[in-house]
Amino acid sequence: MSKIPFLLVILDGLGDHSYAELNNKTPLEAASQKNISKIKSFGAQGLMDPIAPGVPPSSDTAHLQILGYDLTTEYFGRGPIEAMGEGIELKEGEIAFRADFGTVRIVGDRAIVIDRRAGRIPTEETRQLVELLNKEARFVDSYEFKVVGLTEHRAAIIVRGEDLSYEVTDNDPHNINVPVLECQVREEAREKEKAKRLAEIMNKWTIRTMNILEKAELNEKRKKEGKLPANVVLFRGAGVMKKLPTFYEKHGLRAAGIAGGALYKGVAKAVGMDLIEVQGANGMPDTNIKGKFEAAKRALSNYDFVFLHLKATDYYSHKGDPVGKSEFISKFDDHLSIIEDKFKDIALMITGDHTTPCDRGLHSGEPVPVLISAPSIRRDDTKIFSEREASIGSLGRIRGSDVMKIVLDMIERTVEFGTRPSPRLITYMPSELKALKIS
């Protein structure tokens, strides 16, 4: 069987609207497409609803869906994925949250959030506060808490103990001038009693840590210097560490992931891809794109499937900067030349994990454009890679959950529906087949 390597490029939040400052084009339409157009000349395009039409995806859910995971049975929250991406080793069953040190002002019996980043407290100072909390608030009842300091105001919280369920809400109100929220049981929780227990200990922990932080020497010093004290830990994205079936088990493809942002590294790790570290890859506009493409080029010789993630498109969208976004796409196009000699021999998909319109500054439920190319594929006559052209492309309108089926078919690994070479119901020809022993 021929082995066609596959490269999946995700430009985070790629889809967008058109803007006057880009001559009524979208950032993608206004970008240079020198290399993209070469790919397009032997490809096709279409639109994808990462989850479903009208549903704004979060990046982690969109990625898992696109990689062929079932969000109703195989998604256990964002906290552990992000923690894994930060290099934190979690054990099965441990609960994790993403957290930020913030600033609150007490008004009556409420704690009003006035800054969600505690004046962008530096990493070293966050580390000092983390140490204090790990000493003085290590246990609530019999449950153990561990805070891990990340960069600047960022942290992760890990909770260990029996009979807990991650199905709880955030204490982070995701806004300022509103109170810190009570952690509650999610209405759809499958294990309500266990979730209630976690919600209770999280609320106790929040109050206790607020008291500890308020009195912390470091915060006294910050206040004297006219800086905001880091006197609250705002958490979100509760999740539990569960082992997912690996990408190889699911699709029969040996896969590698290349990303700068912690969440995307976490996604790659969570699905058992080999994570390829690239120096200077940071999920920001000044990321090492060259290094990432060079790593992808090497990986295409050793793996069946390579996932390459670039975050800056989404960064510019959240900032409301369509010109910056378009310029970053041009930069991306320029660096595609690094793999140009592979264009004809590999299968390739360039898409986004969701639309993030710069005029909204938030993820929307609109579809994203998808460009595919492969040695053997039905091509279309669309002109440039674009949200508008994608709507008349021959790929039509697909869902995120269709992507891996299309990928396997593009690289000629599929078996006809109903063929059973293996006890497991799979849509691809497995690389290991059980031979009949004849002696």
Residue 86 beta carbon to Zn ion: minimum distance, rounded to whole angstroms = 17
Round the CA-based radius of gyration of the chain to a whole number and report it: 23
CA distance 244 to 226: 47
Residue 325 beta carbon to Zn ion: minimum distance, rounded to whole angstroms = 12
Residues 120-149 that bind Zn ion (CB under 5 A): none
Helix-helix angle 59-66:262-270, to 10 degrees: 30
CB-CB neighbours of 344 under 10 Å: 12
Residue 127 beta carbon to Zn ion: minimum distance, rounded to whole angstroms = 27
Residues 29-68 that bind Zn ion (CB under 5 A): 59
Q: Which of residues 353, 366, 387, 389 is near Zn ion by CB under 5 A?
A: 353
CA distance 139 to 154: 21
Closer CB to Zn ion, residue 48 or residue 195?
A: 48
Q: Which of residues 100, 115, 167, 314 is near Zn ion by CB under 5 A?
A: 314
Rounding to the nearest 10 degrees, give the CA dihedral for residues 110, 112, 113, 119: -120
The single residue listed with the structure tokens 């590698």 is: 256
Closer CB to Zn ion, residue 183 or residue 259?
A: 259
Q: Which of 190, 231, 89 is nearest to 148 (CA)?
A: 89
Which burial class, exposed, middle or buried, applies to 341 when counting CB atoms under 10 A from its CB (0-12, 13-18, 19+)?
Answer: exposed
Instruction: With beta carbons less than 8 A apart as the criterion, state whether 138 and 144 touch.
Output: yes
Residue 81 beta carbon to Zn ion: minimum distance, rounded to whole angstroms = 13
Closer CB to Zn ion, residue 26 or residue 59?
A: 59
Q: Where are the alpha helices (DSSP H) in 216-288?
A: 217-224, 247-251, 262-270
In the numeric block, which tokens belong to residue 147? 């805070």
Residue 220 beta carbon to Zn ion: minimum distance, rounded to whole angstroms = 36
Closer CB to Zn ion, residue 192 or residue 269?
A: 269
Stretch that binds Zn ion, among 7-15, 28-36, 262-270, 296-304 (CB under 5 A): 7-15
Closer CB to Zn ion, residue 13 or residue 239?
A: 13
Residue nearest to Zn ion (CB): 59
- Confirm or reject binding of residue 12 to Zn ion (CB under 5 A): yes
- Confirm or reject binding of residue 16 to Zn ion (CB under 5 A): no
Residue 1 beta carbon to Zn ion: minimum distance, rounded to whole angstroms = 34
- The secondary structure of the chain in percent helix, strand, coil, rounded to multiples of 5, reads 35, 20, 45
Stretch that binds Zn ion, among 10-18, 48-56, 257-265, 290-298 (CB under 5 A): 10-18
Residue 120 beta carbon to Zn ion: minimum distance, rounded to whole angstroms = 19
Closer CB to Zn ion, residue 40 or residue 63?
A: 63
Give the residues lining the site for Zn ion (CB under 5 A): 12, 59, 314, 353
